[in-house]
Amino acid sequence: MTTTAAIAPYDPAVDAPKPHHAIYDYDSGPPVNRGKFAIWLFLATEIMFFTGLIGAYVVLRIGADSWPDPENRLAVLITAINTFILIVSSATMVKAVERAMLGDNDGLVKWLGATVVIGATFVGVQVYEYAELIKAGNLPNVDIFWSTFYAMTGFHGLHVTVGVIWNLVVMIAAMRRKIPQEKYMTVELAGLYWHFVDLVWVLLFTIVYLM
């Protein structure tokens, strides 16, 4: 109609795609690795996720008429040791990243292996804790203490499990010599996630088990 400029028809000379063109990859941003940038974004979403869970716990707890002493309900000492175990695994992870940076593949495999084993131990202890609690009849539907307890520690445990699997995958790649020095970022990304999970536990342990 009146004001529409005539749309030019297809002209193969100009409009056809050029055959066999190369594909270009740009880097525009600040000098941060893409993967690292993305993982931090992802960790931000994780923080908000735990905000939902932990925030619910905090406000429900402050609002509760009374709140049982966790000492009476939970095995604080065992979990304290478990906390320590998780911290150790964070440290071994740091070593693994360092090895990867230095291109020491054997060291990488060794330290990652340690992280996986120690991380799995943490999960094991938690499973044992759950089993004992459930045996004693402390199910999530008993009261709001147990509801929040299971939701928070359960989702944290799930994250640890994911982290263990992730580390395992990286370890297998390292064993097959697929992580040369330039690609140490692969290890570092797994590491960031792993430390984050550790960080969340540090907070959870304090507010759920000690407070």
Give the nearest distance from C-beta 43 to other proteins in angstroms: 7
Which residue lies nearer to other proteins by CB, 90 or 109?
90
Q: Based on CB atoms, which residue is closest to other proteins, 51 or 117?
A: 51
DSSP letter, residue 10: P
Question: Which CB sits closer to other proteins, 62 or 176?
Answer: 62
> How far apart are CB 75 and other proteins at their closest, in Å?
12
Q: Which of 208, 3, 187 is nearest to 95 (CA)?
A: 187
74 neighbors 175 (Cβ within 8 angstroms): no
**Can you tell me which residue has the tokens 């990859």?**
25
Can you read off the two tokens belonging to residue 7?
Answer: 């749309």
Pick between residue 13 and residue 176 the one whose CB is nearest to other proteins: 13
- Rama region for 30: left / alpha / beta (φ>0; ψ in -120 to 50; rest): beta
State the minimum distance, in angstroms, from the CB of residue 56 to other proteins: 6
In terms of CB distance, is 103 or 124 closer to other proteins?
A: 103
CA torsion 200→84→193→209, rounded to 10°? -20
Nearest one of 135, 159, 145 to 207, comparing CA atoms = 145
Q: How far is the CB of 160 from other proteins (least distance, A)?
A: 15
Could you give the 3-state DSSP secondary structure of residue 29? coil
CB of 131 to other proteins, least distance (A): 16
Distance, CA of 28 to CA of 32 (rounded, Å): 10
Q: Tell me how far, at minimum, the Cβ of 103 lies from other proteins, in Å.
A: 11
CB nearer to other proteins: pick between 95 and 123: 95
* 148 closest CA partner among 46, 55, 78: 55
